[in-house]
Amino acid sequence: MKTKSFNTYKVSKEHAGLTVENYLKQVLQYSGRQIQKLTRRKGILLNGKTVYLQKKVKPDDTLRVIVDGDNAYGVQPEQGPVEILYEDDYLLVINKPAYQLVHPTGHTTSGTLANYLAYHLEQRGIICTIRAVHRLDRETSGCIIFAKDARSQFLLEQQLAARTLKRTYWALVKGSVSPPAGTIDAPIGPHPHFANRRAVTAHGDPAITHYQTVRSFPEATLLELTLDTGRTHQIRVHLAHIGYPVIGDGMYGVRSPWIGRQALHASFVSFRHLQDQRELTVHAPLPADFAHAIEQAQICKKAQAE
């Protein structure tokens, strides 16, 4: 028989005096329908005992709420490497290698990060649908967040919309970027001629990218970028639009002998812990091929100086 799983919450002083129902709605953001379902299942415990919804909570009370378990992964588990950067009861942050798809798509049904993660969880006896909170392009490496249950996914997506979940990228771009820091505010929509591309267009969706220079080279610039929005190919489209395409990006720039892919890496993510709200930052180390590209830019700098 499957063991019931609960999420546990400690009531803070600022929420003392709320009824259990209001705590669930206002603090934990459960809907009325979800609360009814939890009540029928006796899935709400206050200090270890079932409780009426109108009971008022006190500081340091412990509220436990049953978790609706998944019964499938949503993808076919497949053995493969998975580098976990961070994990708790609600989510995982994975270091995605370059050239790997996040999820099966089109004719590609195996070899994706989702397939490998499903197998990894299966080996640990954990059954949960594989839920990516955001996406990375096939060639982009670095941090990607997976939620372990539907509620955690919802809360993380809310953080994403409120910009309390922040994604920071490093990009090596062609040219000497000027000004060295700035904001690109340009709408992005479908490309007028190529179905798989995006373009800056007056009728596109709002898209905002912030950048600042990390290091400058004669022929390239290493940038750190953060996003206010998450449009498809946003960083690549925006940087090409202002004349500094990502090195190695064959779609929006040109391929490069320095690196066999686009030099774009999701270097870290920061977010608020879903239970105690402390801010967490998870970093993905720079891959060897990206580090090599930076070395090549440095070599060019030395050659020009001699």
- Residue from 61, 137, 149, 249 carrying the catalytic annotation: 137
The one-letter code for the residue type at 69 is G
Tell me which H or E stretch contains 10.
Answer: strand 5-10
70 part of the active site: no
Can you read off the two tokens belonging to residue 200? 């800056």
Beta bridge mates, 172? 222
Residue in the block written with tokens 């009971």: 55
DSSP letter for 24, please.
Answer: I
From residue 152, give the alpha-carbon distance in Å to each of 68, 88, 103, 113, 273. 12, 11, 19, 19, 10
Can you read off the two tokens belonging to residue 195? 């179905």
Can you read off the two tokens belonging to residue 104? 């099966």
CA 152 to chain centre: 13
How far apart CA 152 and CA 131 sit, in angstroms, is 10
Contact 263, 248 (CB under 8 A): yes
Secondary structure string (H, E, C) spanning 188-217: EEECCCCCCCEEECCCCECCEEEEEEEEEC
Residues 6+ apart with CB under 8 A from 106: none
Catalytic residues: 137
